[in-house]
Structure 1
């Protein structure tokens, strides 16, 4: 039996965390006395590491002010997660059944590649009872920001699976560019934070989890 690896992004792909992201970015900008950027601008940087995302949104602020913003964001996000529990980052419709079905297959392993911090990822996996699905989970604390391929290359190394037998699933151009850099096939999902035209570089683009399941079957058949 030939094992294959399916790697998921988290925010905007598995869970909808935009309410807490937007509120926490507002807290980050309030820390330095500035209004937060528009919703589309904030969601446009989801997937990057937090320091990189804030630096891109805040422009030419000093390193000290950027560091204050990062800490304000982290404090706000942790408070909201503690306050709201699973409601902070609900799973998208159809995601849990999809994970259950993929996890039940003997020929598949599942992984994560996310711009979240390790603390945030671990809390999410525990709160939503997702930890059991994934054999490898890479995050921003341990790697360069997407679209650098480090997270995906580590997923491959930890599982012993070649790039040709892996698929990356994400909702942003950063995910698709990361997959291309790692020579991994990719699927873009349109229910997340980047508009569909930004996903044009993916091997496939899908609009719902039912379609995602079918496309994965097709791509995994092609995996060698």
Structure 2
């Protein structure tokens, strides 16, 4: 039996909200549109850029959404190359990932980030070799569409019955349910426990140290 645990990135593996919020402010400034508040930006973390921009700037045209999205990517890249990007691992995540791997779980990531952005984070923290499947917005529709999980399961040779999605947003939970997988919410990210449960979370972990026991107890 192949067991697969798929992690979201921002808000689940790493706390990148300060960098994301600053890059978003810079992107809106570039195109001359009033920037959303940080709370609004945190609310869309996990969505792919086109969907995120349509939420943050609902009155904008598709062309304006594209322009803000490109400005966001440029701002984020500039911050990374200047050493200003801040995305620390949450305390206990590295240990939970290592423990799950040692117990025979295959590991994956499903994120609204780009391939380049995800690789930079995983390489920075030395986690890249632990994951057998990496799914990003470069190749898939935005969450909560199940495409990322469908491909992750195909890569790993797992099934919905033996796959769990671990994430901090309602988009992650809804994606898990759409794919028929277990939905494990985490309380240390950007959506609260009530939002996760409403979106279909089977359980919400309060700390990374709880993840192994939760996953090992799945049917």
Q: Same fold (TM over 0.5)?
A: yes
Structure 1 counterpart SS, 2:83? helix
Normalising by structure 1, we get a TM-score of 0.93
1:93-139, Cα deviation, whole Å (9 max, x unpaired): 0001111111222x310011100011111111111111111000100
- Tell whether 2:147 aligns with 1:154: no
Structure 1 counterpart SS, 2:217? helix
The equivalent residue for 1:178 is: 175
1:116-171, Cα deviation, whole Å (9 max, x unpaired): 01111111111111111100010001000000000000011111111100111000
User: Quick check: 1:31–1:68 contact (8 Å CA) kept in 2?
Assistant: no
> Structure 1 CA distance, aligned partners of 2:134 and 2:153?
11
Tell me how many residue pairs correspond in the alignment.
Answer: 217
User: Quick check: 1:113–1:139 contact (8 Å CA) kept in 2?
Assistant: yes
- Tell whether 2:150 aligns with 1:132: no
1:186-224, Cα deviation, whole Å (9 max, x unpaired): 1100100111111112111111112222211211xx1xx
- Tell whether 2:9 aligns with 1:10: yes
Unpaired segments of 5 or more residues in structure 2? none
The equivalent residue for 2:28 is: 29
> Structure 2 CA distance, aligned partners of 1:213 and 1:199?
19
Normalising by structure 2, we get a TM-score of 0.95
Structure 2 counterpart SS, 1:6? strand
Deviation at 1:58, TM superposition (A): 0.7
> Structure 2 CA distance, aligned partners of 1:155 and 1:212?
20
- Tell whether 2:168 aligns with 1:202: no
Question: Pick from 85, 88, 91: which aligns with 2:86?
Answer: 88
Deviation at 1:63, TM superposition (A): 2.4
Deviation at 1:3, TM superposition (A): 2.0
Structure 1 counterpart SS, 2:9? coil
Q: Residues 19-98 of structure 1 correspond to what in structure 2 (within 5 A)?
A: 19-84=18-83, 88-98=86-96
Deviation at 1:68, TM superposition (A): 1.6
The equivalent residue for 1:169 is: 166
Structure 2 counterpart SS, 1:31? helix
User: Quick check: 1:9–1:113 contact (8 Å CA) kept in 2?
Assistant: yes
User: Quick check: 1:9–1:171 contact (8 Å CA) kept in 2?
Assistant: yes
> Structure 1 CA distance, aligned partners of 2:38 and 2:193?
17
> Structure 2 CA distance, aligned partners of 1:47 and 1:14?
12
Structure 2 counterpart SS, 1:112? strand
Structure 1 counterpart SS, 2:27? helix
